[in-house]
Amino acid sequence: MALVIKQGEVSNLTEATITVGRNGNVNSGHSWSFRIGTLPSNFKSASHGNIANGDLITGVGKMKNGSFLIYSYRNETTGAVSKAPAIPQLIFGICFAVLGLLTVIILVGFLLFPLGLYFLYLAYNLNEANSLLKRTPKPIKNQSN
C-alpha cells in the first residue's frame, strides 16, 4: 500500500458520530467527509477532530475507490495534529504472532500467525504515515502586497 500526502483547503465538510453497541458495550467514534481541493476525503477517529471548512490541512493516507482515506493529518490553520494509533496494532500483532508460533503444533497457530503478521503490517503503515506527516513541510502561503 503506497501512502499519499495531500495538502489543500477543506470544503464541503460533514461530520457524523458513529455509535456501535455489542454485548452491552456501547462505543462511539467520529467520521468526517470533506474535500481537499477537489479530492473527496474521509477521516475517522475515536476522539473529536479539529477540522472546519476553509482550513488548510496536510493529510497522509491512501487512495481507495477514488477517495482519500486519511490516517493522520495536520491542520495548518489551527496547528492541531491527529496521528494514527499504531501502538494497539503493534501490540496485537506481536501477541497474535507469538501465540501463533506457540500454538502451531495444535494447528491454531496457522490462523493466529498470519493474523499477527497482518496487524504488524498495519502498525508499520500507520507509523509510516505519522513519520511522513512529521517530515512533510508546511505549505508556503501566498502573500499579496
Among 29, 7, 16, which residue's Cα sits nearest to residue 137? 7
Q: What is the pTM of this model?
A: 0.84
User: Looking at the predicted structure, is the pLDDT value of residue 111 above 80?
Assistant: yes
pLDDT confidence of residue 145: 43
Q: Using DSSP, state whether 100 is helix, strand or coil.
A: helix
- Predicted confidence at residue 144, as pLDDT, reads 45
Q: The cell 473527496 sits on which residue?
A: 40
Domain spans in the chain, listed from the N-terminal domain onward: 4-135
Q: What is the mean pLDDT of the chain?
A: 91
Q: Assess contact for 76 and 70: CB atoms under 8 A.
A: no
List C-alpha distances in Å: 120 to 37, 75, 85, 90. 33, 28, 13, 5
Give Cα separations from 90 to 52, 110, 115, 119, 135 (angstroms).
32, 19, 12, 6, 22
